[in-house]
Amino acid sequence: CSSDLDERFHCYDDNILNKSKLRDCLKNDDDLAYLNSIVHPYVIKRIKDLKKDSYDNIIIVEVPLLFELHLEHLFDKTIAIYLEEDVRLKRLLSRDEELYPFMLLLSEKQFTSLQKASYADIVIDNNVEDEKYLTNQIINIIDLLSKK
């Protein structure tokens, strides 16, 4: 995986992925498609291995393109984080304004937060900047999943 990425994008420094370099290389659909063709099979294999080898009752895996790639069948339950678009952009820009063009490119390829929420078994509302509110939602979800 890493050698294929580095050969095309030259995005590794001392065998460590430099996400900033990689992001700077992803300027068009062909580059994004190539990246996905390398990364997605690896991610799918890793998810299957994790499920097979884990002794834990609950395994949480973050998959940004879960529904777009129709990978929900790999999981017993799916969770989406719902965030209104204007709130998402505001938070993004407060972290790093340079990410904005890249995020626009990605958002054209991804489902909206509302679409993801409609497919998910469980939805976390992340529109309110209240850590206690968010924490309570997560605790409730853990309780719900633990009862299984």
- Give me 73's structure tokens: 């069948």
Return the H-helix or E-strand segment holding 77.
none
Confidence of residue 97 (pLDDT cuts 50, 70, 90): confident
Residue tagged 């505001």 (tokens): 90
Return the H-helix or E-strand segment holding 13.
strand 12-13
Tens digits of residue pLDDT in 101-114: 777 777 777 899 99
Tens digits of residue pLDDT in 8-64: 888 899 889 898 888 888 877 888 889 989 989 999 999 999 989 988 888 899 998
